């Protein structure tokens, strides 16, 4: 006799998965392939997801880390995370055809930083050292114009040229709660500091974290589908752990699932980072269904209708 499957309840966080900036970046590569044929080069992973990158590779995209790997006669796309100004400058000097897939919400932070710099302010960027978005934002301005802080502890160590002439900006994919604490520490130390009305954390990051916060206290375990180098996905794991679900982890896809880890859980939360396609969530649910009797409840915390336009060069 076949043993009956154990029941498990799945709480599906919503919104989850692809944001408007990721959708646009993928469409830019696909449209460029249609218009210019194979291959189209892409500088850096277009979005931080292996599945997305491999799918685009099968369609004719070639991913490289630097422009010197791109031949003169082929188009190149810059990733959604944004690039330092030196990158389009180099592409211009080589007369490369390039398409910029920088998310418009990242470009907005670039423009904000430039405005503050033009007003004579030093910019303090809250973000993670080495992340491509941080490299891109710092690279909008001359070296030394932007100082990076990663946590509250670093605020006390900041050496600024003029405490009365400061502004802050943030990476778009940070933890909302951690950022509030860092901004508060900056304001305590530098009361004259200027900043955006809201942090620069984007709507997609905010909504995905709010949905995880809503389900975490009800979950025995929570899985975030996303890549280990995806900042917003990693933040979702932390948000779950900080809000009542210590048993939370990141997986790239269902085949990474350690089923023993789930032993004893009666309620499993599932979400996906902004660069993870829904098909990977479906795949995980199907793998759960093979092992458990499922009851699925979707917990929706926001409706999203944001759509970003494609660059003019790609619109027929």
List residues binding ligand SF4 (CB under 6 A): 19-22, 80, 103, 105-106, 172-173, 202, 204-205, 232, 274
Q: How far is the CB of 222 from ligand SF4 (least distance, A)?
A: 20
Burial of 10 (0-12, 13-18, 19+ CB in 10 A): buried
CB-based closest residue to ligand SF4 = 21
What phi, psi does 159 have (nearest 5°)?
-110, 110
For ligand SF4, the closer of residues 106 and 216 by Cβ is 106
What is the enclosing helix (H) or strand (E) of 8?
A: strand 6-14
Q: Bridge-partner residues for 269, per DSSP?
A: 11, 222
Measured N-to-C along each axis, helices 50-59 and 20-36 cross at an angle, to the nearest 10 degrees, of 20
Q: Annotate 97-128 with b (16+ C-beta within 10 A) or e (fewer).
A: ebbbbbbebbbebbebbeebbeeebbbbbbbb
Q: How far is the CB of 79 from ligand SF4 (least distance, A)?
A: 10
Task: Specify whether 23 is catalytic.
Answer: no
For ligand SF4, the closer of residues 167 and 276 by Cβ is 276
Q: For tokens 């479906």, what's the residue?
A: 282
Q: How far is the CB of 164 from ligand SF4 (least distance, A)?
A: 31
Q: How far is the CB of 296 from ligand SF4 (least distance, A)?
A: 25
Q: How far is the CB of 303 from ligand SF4 (least distance, A)?
A: 15
3-state secondary structure of 99: strand
For ligand SF4, the closer of residues 306 and 313 by Cβ is 306
For ligand SF4, the closer of residues 269 and 273 by Cβ is 273
Q: Is the dihedral of CA 243, 248, 253, 259 positive or negative?
A: negative
The catalytically annotated residue of 45, 133, 199, 293 is: 133
DSSP secondary structure of 236-289:
HHHHHHHTT--SEEEESSGGG--GGGGTT-SEEEEEE-TTS-HHHHHHHHHHHH
For ligand SF4, the closer of residues 202 and 212 by Cβ is 202
Catalytic sites, residue numbers: 133
């Amino acid at each position: 006799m076949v043993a009956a499957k154990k029941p498990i309840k799945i709480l599906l966080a919503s919104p989850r998965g692809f944001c408007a900036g990721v959708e646009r970046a993928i469409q830019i590569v696909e449209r460029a392939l249609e218009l210019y044929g194979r291959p189209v080069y892409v500088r850096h992973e277009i979005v931080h997801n292996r599945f997305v990158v491999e799918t685009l590779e099968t369609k004719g995209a070639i991913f490289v880390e630097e422009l010197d790997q791109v031949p003169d006669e082929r188009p190149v796309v810059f990733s959604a995370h944004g690039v330092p100004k030196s990158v389009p400058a180099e592409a211009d000097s080589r007369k490369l055809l390039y398409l910029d897939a920088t998310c418009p919400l990242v470009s907005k932070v670039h423009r904000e930083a430039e405005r503050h710099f033009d007003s004579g302010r030093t910019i303090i960027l809250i973000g993670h050292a080495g992340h491509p978005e941080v490299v891109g934002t710092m690279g909008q301005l001359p070296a030394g114009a932007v100082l990076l802080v990663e946590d509250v502890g670093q605020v006390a160590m900041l050496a600024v040229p003029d405490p009365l002439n400061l502004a802050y900006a943030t990476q778009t994919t940070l933890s909302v709660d951690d950022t509030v604490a860092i901004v508060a520490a900056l304001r305590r130390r530098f009361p004259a500091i200027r900043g955006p009305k809201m942090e620069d954390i984007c709507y997609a990051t905010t909504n995905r974290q709010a949905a995880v916060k809503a389900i975490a206290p009800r979950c025995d375990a929570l899985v975030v589908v996303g890549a280990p180098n995806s900042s917003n996905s990693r933040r979702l794991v932390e948000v779950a752990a900080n809000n009542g679900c210590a048993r939370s982890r990141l997986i790239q896809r269902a085949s990474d699932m350690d089923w023993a880890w789930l032993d004893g859980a009666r309620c499993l939360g599932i979400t996906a980072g902004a660069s993870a396609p829904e098909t990977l969530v479906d795949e995980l649910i199907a793998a759960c269904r093979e092992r458990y009797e499922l009851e699925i409840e979707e917990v929706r915390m926001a409706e999203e209708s944001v759509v970003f336009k494609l660059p003019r060069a790609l619109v027929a």
